[in-house]
Copies of this chain bind each other. A is one copy, B any other.
Amino acid sequence: MLDLRHQPEFKNKIVNNSKRSKRPYLIRAMHEWMGDNSHTPHIVVDTSVDGVCVPLEHVKDGKIILNISESAAHNLKLTNDAVSFRARFSGVAFDVWVPMKSVLGIYARETGQGMIFSHDTETADQLSPATLPDEIEETRSRPHLTIVK
């Protein structure tokens, strides 16, 4: 029987699949969990990542904190590629768009509970969340894990 894993085309497909980041799935999960708890989800964004579109006057030390609760973030979209919504900053409406890989963490304002993402959660990027507060729950991934038999 032909083992497709040795065919270059199939091998590339496996590699591409394994690169799909968990991050957007976890962000959607935490956003839903916080909403069901009547908590207010905030994300921490690394504004040095290409494509980040946020009001620059609210950036501090290369980071911005964004309230993505349903009441604050209008037309919120949490896709696999980006977080986007319209919100008011100091009374002025702004269309926010931040690529998923720029999102360093998500937490609930009321409790501080949430997740920060280590750089190996996102295989493709090299973000360093070292400057974030370490009180937030962290999720770690190991690229090569043993299959449970």
- In the assembled complex, the CB of A29 is this many whole angstroms from the nearest CB of chain B, namely 4
- In the assembled complex, the CB of A139 is this many whole angstroms from the nearest CB of chain B, namely 5
Per-position binary interface string of chain A over residues 108-147, scored 1 when its CB falls under 8 Å from any chain B CB and 0 otherwise: 0111111100000000000000001101111111101111
Residues of B within 8 A of A115 (CB): 139
A32 and B25 contacting across the interface, CB-CB below 8 Å = yes
A147 and B109 contacting across the interface, CB-CB below 8 Å = yes
* Contact of A37 with B20 at beta-carbon distance under 8 Å, contacts A136-B145, A140-B138, A148-B65 already known: yes
- In the assembled complex, the CB of A14 is this many whole angstroms from the nearest CB of chain B, namely 8
Q: Which of B32, B135, B148 contacts A112 (CB 8 A)?
A: B148
Interface presence of A28 (CB below 8 A): yes
- In the assembled complex, the CB of A30 is this many whole angstroms from the nearest CB of chain B, namely 7
What CA separation (Å) do A141 and B112 show in the bound complex? 11
Residues of B within 8 A of A114 (CB): 145
Please give me the residue from chain B that is nearest to A140 by CB atom. B137
9 interchain pairs (CB within 8 A)? A17-B38, A22-B29, A42-B148, A112-B145, A112-B146, A114-B145, A132-B148, A137-B140, A137-B145
